[in-house]
Structure 1
Amino acid sequence: MMKMDANDDDDVSLFDAEEDSASRKSKVKHPVASFFHLFFRVSAILVYLLCGLFGGSFIACMVTIILLLSCDFWTVKNVTGRLLVGLRWWNQVDDDGKSHWVYESRKTNGKKSSQTSNAESRIFWLGLIVCPVLWVIFAFSTLFSFKIKWLAVVILGVVLQGANFYGYVRCKMGAKTNLRSMATNYFGRQFFKQALTKQEES
């Protein structure tokens, strides 16, 4: 594993289209890790929805959701990210009390590792992106429907799954890449492509 901290210059784009596709297979090499990558987070969402629809015990539902979210956070942060996409992140505090974000990326001979498959990468990023978005939607719906008792639960879902999402995006892109500048550059390129396409059509 190759470590990167906030001072490293090693940047990698989030969905790298230039990866060596010939060396990556589409089969799932880690089925158990892939299953649990989705199991805890999807189960937490299902429990939340079913409790809200069928009026189950609030305390039992809340405890179950918190346990599922906690298991998901630990599993994604420490296991599935390393196995499915070769990435890992954490925060550590030095002797001076200063906090440092540390990023790990599995590499072989200076190149991105080919041990991960396309299927596993899709499973990882799909689960990592979609579920926090759903918790954000739940947070807004909880506010608008005045179900204040669920607010702490959905905020916990947003925080725990959002933390993993943020950590892995920073790890994938590289520690020094600014998220805002990346988004600006992406939309700028899309606008430029659209302008060229319209000009060619006319």
Structure 2
Amino acid sequence: MKKVLLCALCLVVACGACLLTGCRGNSRKSTVSAAATAAASDVLEIDDLLLAADSLVGQTVTIEGICTHTCKHGARKIFLMGSDDTQTIRVESGELGSFDPQCVNRIVRVTGRVDEERIDEAYLANWEAQAKARTAEKHGTTEAGCSTEKAARQETGNTVGERIADFRARIAARKAAEGKEYLSFYYVTAQSYEIQQ
């Protein structure tokens, strides 16, 4: 009887040791997995950045998305797309000077500062004055502007006048809904970037 109890006790101790070792191994794996997940989560998806952009202004982030367009005027801007073409953010080259045109149709990872561009009545009045004086900076080949930038800002107009009228209508709608007399467009000023594939 003593031998049976001793064998049973040894079996219980051995099983307990295996369980403890197994648990420690799993917690170590969990720690490694948690660290890998944390490192991966340091890179924001474009959709997530756009959702939280107002709270990220002035902060440095790392984002990754598909580059859909490089500005034809010196490649100073690229546009990164998230889950679909309604989830697009402009990235400006800042002190980098310009982007490699090879970025287009490839995944690009950018580290940079989130900035906000506000369009209000003063901005629109200045744009109108520049358009009348023909000194406004042009993007694209016509006054309709760069189609990629327009899509990122959800613009509908094709002429400067239509675009300004569209912005005024959107500002009025936002003022009625939120009390804010401006539109916010967020972009990233790059500090570094790399083509992923």
Normalising by structure 1, report the TM-score.
0.23
Normalising by structure 2, report the TM-score.
0.24
Which structure's CA Rg is the greater one? 2
More relative contact order, 1 or 2 (CA 8 Å, 6+ apart): 1
Structure with greater proportional strand content: 2
Structure with greater proportional helix content: 1
